[in-house]
Amino acid sequence: MSKRIGFVGVGRMGANMARRLHDLKYPVTVVYDINQKVAEEVAKEIGAEATTKLARVTELADVIFTVVSDDAAMYKIFAKNGDSLLIGAKGKIFINTATVSPKTHIEIGKLCEEVGAEAIEACMASSIPQARNGTLYFMLGGKKQVIDEVEPILKDMSSSRRYCGELGSAAKVKALVNMVMNINTAALAEGLGLAKALNLDLNMIREVFSQTGANSRVLETDGEDMQNREHTCFFSAEHALKDSGIALNLAKEAGLNLPLAQATYNQYQRLVKKGFGQYDKSAISELTFPDRHGLDKD
C-alpha cells in the first residue's frame, strides 16, 4: 500500500504539489494551512481532510510535506510544546521544502530524531507551473537511506533531483541559487530601465540580450513581465528579500563581503517597504524604470 501523504502549507506551491500527487493516485489524506478556507478548498478538490490541528496531520499521514514561509513558521509547526507535528511522529518522514536557513533544517531534524521520526530537505528551484505538472527541481539533503525511501514520490513530482549532502546542505545550495537569481533579476531590471530611459525599443533590447552575454533564465521568465508591468506572483518580492538575507547571513558567517548580494537585498527591501512585497520579484523593475516608482522619494 502506498504511504499516506499529508501537506502542511497549501498555498500556491503546496496546493499544486498536492494536486500533482492526487492526479497520480497517491493517497493524499490530509492538509493543513493557517488559512483554513484555503485548506478546505484544496481538501475538497483532492478528497483529503482539512484539519486545524498539526498533530492530526501526523496521525493521518506517513509522509508529510511542509511548505511554509520562513524559519519562524518551521519552528512553530515543529514546536516542542502544544499542538505540533512532533506529536505521535515516531516512524514518520517529514519532507521539508521551505527556503529557510540551514541551521533551521538541522535543528528541526534533531527534534524529529528525538521522537523517532526522520526529516529531509527537498528544496525547490522551480515555481507554480512546475509544481503542478511534476517538473520540479529538487535539491535534497539528509540521510541518504531516508531519501531513497521516498524517492518514488519525489521522482513523480520532479524532472530532476540532486543530492547535496547531509541535512543543511540543500538549504545552503538553495540560498546560493536564489542569491544569484535575485542579483540577475535586479540587474535585468536596471538594464531594461536604462534602455527605457534611453528611448530604446524594449522588444529589440530583449531580443539582443537573448542573443548575447546578457542572456539569462531571468530574461526568459521576467523580461517581458518587467516591460509590461505584469507582476502576477510566481515568486514574491518578499521571499526574494528573505532569501537574499539568508545568503548574506551565510556570507557573514564565512567572513565574505558580497556587495552585489547586499545591493540586491537593499533594492528588495526598498521594494517591500513601498508595498510590493506580495508582487512577483519582477516588480523590482518598478524601482528602475524612469516613469515608475523609482523616481519617488523614499
pLDDT tens per residue across span 135-160: 999 999 999 999 999 999 999 999 99
In a domain, 76, yes or no: yes
The predicted structure's pLDDT at residue 266: 97
143 classed as catalytic:
no
**Model pLDDT, residue 127:** 85
Confidence at 50, pLDDT banded by 50, 70, 90: very high
Reply yes or no on whether the pLDDT at 1 is more than 50. no
- Does 156 share its domain with 176? no
In this structure, are 31 and 137 located in the same domain?
A: yes
pLDDT tier, 291 (very low <50, low <70, confident <90, very high otherwise): confident
Position 62, amino acid: D
**Residue 105's closest CA among 200, 246, 7, 261?**
246
The answer, yes or no, to whether residue 262 has pLDDT greater than 60, is yes
In this structure, are 23 and 137 located in the same domain? yes
Pair (158, 212) in one structural domain: no
pLDDT digits (tens, 9 = 90+) for 59-98: 999 999 999 989 999 999 999 999 999 999 999 999 999 9
Q: Evaluate if residue 295 carries a pLDDT over 70.
A: no
For the chain, the first-to-last Cα distance in angstroms comes to: 58
Residues 4-8, mean pLDDT to the nearest whole number: 98
Residues of the domain holding 275: 172-287
Q: Which of 174, 196, 242, 281 is catalytic?
A: 174
Q: Is the pLDDT assigned to residue 296 strictly greater than 70?
A: no
Alpha-carbon gap, residue 15 to 39, rounded angstroms: 9
Cell numbers that stand for 17 in this block: 504539489
Residue 94, all three cell numbers: 517529514
186: closest CA among 290, 279, 99, 260? 260
Give residue 297's pLDDT. Answer: 54
Residue 165: partners with Cβ closer than 8 Å, 6 or more residues away = 141
pLDDT for position 294? 66
Cβ pair 14, 124 in contact under 8 A: no
Q: How confident is the model at residue 298 (pLDDT cuts 50, 70, 90)?
A: low
Helix, strand, coil percent values for the chain (each to nearest 5): 55, 15, 30
Task: Let me know whether 89 and 149 are in one domain.
Answer: yes
Average predicted confidence (pLDDT) for the chain: 96
Q: Is residue 83 part of a domain?
A: yes
* Residue closest to 272 by CA, chosen among 247, 246, 243, 252: 243
> 83 and 16, same structural domain?
yes
Contact 249, 99 (CB under 8 A): no
**CATH number where 99 lies:** 3.40.50.720
Same domain? 115 vs 215: no
* Alpha carbon distance 272, 238 (integer Å): 6
Report the distance separating Cα 74 and Cα 63, nearest Å: 16
**Same domain for 98 and 11?**
yes
Torsion angles phi and psi, residue 107, rounded to 5:
-70, -40
The residue out of 166, 183, 207 marking a domain boundary is 166
The helix or strand, by DSSP H or E, that contains position 128, with its residue range, turns out to be: helix 128-133
Quick one: pLDDT band at residue 123, thresholds 50, 70, 90? very high
Report phi then psi at 118, rounded to 5: -125, 150
